[in-house]
Amino acid sequence: MLFARKVWHLLVAIKDGLVLLLLLLFFMALYAALTTRPSAGLVRDGALLLKLDGAVVEEPAASDPLENLLAAEVPTKEYAARDVVRALELAASDARIKAVVLDLSRFTGGGLVHMEEIAAAIDTVRAAKKPVLAYATVYADDGVMLAAHASEAWVDPLGGAFVLGPGGNRLYYGELLNRLKIKAHVFRVGTYKDFVEPYLGTGQSAPSREARQALYDAVWSNWKDNVAKARPKANLALVTSDPAGWIKAAGGDAAKAAQSAGLIDKIGDAVAFGERVRELAGEDGTDRAPGAYAHSSMGALLAAHPRSSEGKAVAVVTVAGEIVDGKAGPGTAGGERIAALIDDANADDAPALVLRVDSPGGSVFASEQIRLALERYKAKGRPVVVSMANLAASGGYWVSTPAQRIFAEPSTVTGSIGIFSIIPSFEGALANYGVTNDGVRTTPISGQPDVLSGLSPDVEAMLQANTEHGYSRFLDLVAKSRGKTAAQVDAIAQGRVWDGGTARQNGLVDQFGGLDDALAYAAKAAKLDTWHADFYGTPARPFASLIERLGGDEDEGGNGPTGADLAALAAGRQQGMIDRVAADLARLLGTRGAQAYCLECPVLPGRTQGAAARKAGLVAFLSQLLGA
């Protein structure tokens, strides 16, 4: 028995040793996979495949590998607009790239300014005599614009191309809150500051409708002009004026309708499209699947052409997404985090700084943190330039006020100079269930603000006065920045949102141009002969790469993309509305201070509060199950 016991212990020890060895090898292999990134050696003769399975944004949101792994659904991918543009520009000059393929099957869109930038980069590729081919099952507005600039736009026989145009309805909760006896206490300044209107009434106010109509008309005109210039023969008038008749005339075949209107060129499935690309780019020697073609990914091409580091570094700090208190981001502009990045550039003695803004605004306190950091930077006599992308409204304009020069595009949405705050109280709702309140006060504002028992008149007066003071401060900041009086700014403020073209006319913007123009201006202002852009931000986390690839690698799909149909497009928009409702409720009930936020600003594709709230992974499920 003693011998047998010793043999057993030996066998257990060997087993444990093998398990430990296998675990060690597993984690070594996992680490290698996690840290793998595209390399220059992966660029081959063939096509550049831009497989945009998600949204194009100014700054992709941070990706939590564990959260993504445990999530109930694959997170939506996000692609930095500047990476897509740079990849296209590199494709125009790299001799290995014979053609560019835009796989838009799962493309969820982006801001109009970003689409215009990508469209211009596509034109650069075509000017270099290289074909650009686009494919999707269903194209919506953003996809239609990109496809319009392609030399060949394909659509699946079961798909189509649809032009919806900007605008639409939003929900108003005023009557619901009245029925529930929930009172929304609103404190605002600005005739057009309509962010709070959904919580007060049953529809838009006349000033809100006027401002939004003017904004959408300008943006819509820019979209149509861009597409018409790229595809002069496209019958946009028919597609946008009588969409039902247009589809009916094609016998209900949306693909044929899109081709007859000139929105797309050819109808074919993924294999047929791949075979066409193969004619131009060559065969994929490692993949014999039908429709496979030689191609390289965007990541590989970018890795093969690292950015220049010659000369002095012009700092670029990005304010993307809602401006919030704290360290949130990237993808959300945490005021403390952004201010720290600006201070880092200051400590690094960067000779000039460009603030890239793509934000509808948010917290006044966080916006002021960012502005003060810019003022600290300017105090050393160095130039600060602002480059506005799709949005730079409310808090997004607040953080722009220290700039000595503001660049924007005609399709940029800016302005919305106004302040508001909103606090719900539930005394009426509680009274329905027999819950009352009583107590003793030592001052008129003891125990206030009380969201359960209601706000006292003194507190309401104080909050309104504080909001008016915040608006006055906003006016003064803009007046100082723009060389105007507060009265002159007030005439174009009042919470009104402007398109970039009108904003330039009324003095809120200095000149048209993109990020490259702003960088060139900043370098010249700093008297730099040679320079390069240095993007400050949160460094990429290599441990996210494996999780991201579990959701589909950008290099996959060489034998053709897959996608959804019109019904799926409608379902996606329905889910977007659900997300928006969740975000509305979060903003009403969330703990927030004074806000400078834009209601009219278009909701850009990407991660939303609603989507985040909706996502329930394994951890959330277990928490609910255990009652945590």
Cβ-contact 588, 199 below 8 angstroms? yes
**Which parts of 268-419 fold into alpha helices (H)?**
270-281, 298-304, 335-347, 364-378, 395-398
Side-chain-side CA neighbours of residue 96 (13 Å): 17
Report the distance separating Cα 437 and Cα 453, nearest Å.
Answer: 6
Active-site residue among 208, 363, 367, 394? 394
The SS3 of residue 173 is: coil
Q: Identify the bridge partners of residue 297 per DSSP, sorted by sequence position.
A: 49
| 416 has catalytic annotation | no
> Which of the 8 DSSP states describes residue 540?
P
User: Which amino acid type is present at position 191?
Assistant: T
Report the distance separating Cα 547 and Cα 59, nearest Å.
Answer: 19
The SS3 of residue 349 is: coil
Closest Cα partner for 142 from 96, 193, 99, 108?
A: 108
Residues in the chain: 628
Report the distance separating Cα 399 and Cα 333, nearest Å.
Answer: 11
Q: Kindly report the backbone phi and psi dihedral angles of residue 449, in degrees, each rounded to the nearest multiple of 5, phi listed first.
A: -75, 135
Closest Cα partner for 548 from 215, 188, 51?
A: 51
Active-site residue among 51, 77, 193, 256? 193
The SS3 of residue 402 is: coil
> Which of the 8 DSSP states describes residue 289?
S
Cβ-contact 614, 582 below 8 angstroms? yes
Report the distance separating Cα 463 and Cα 441, nearest Å.
Answer: 19
Locate tokens 């001052």: which residue? 443
Report the distance separating Cα 322 and Cα 396, nearest Å.
Answer: 9
| 387 has catalytic annotation | no
Q: How many CB atoms lie within 10 A of CB 156?
A: 24
Cβ-contact 164, 591 below 8 angstroms? no
Nearest-5° Cα angle at 228, 227 to 232: 130
Side-chain-side CA neighbours of residue 372 (13 Å): 9
| Cα R_g (the chain), whole angstroms | 27
Cβ-contact 514, 409 below 8 angstroms? yes
Catalytic residues: 193, 394
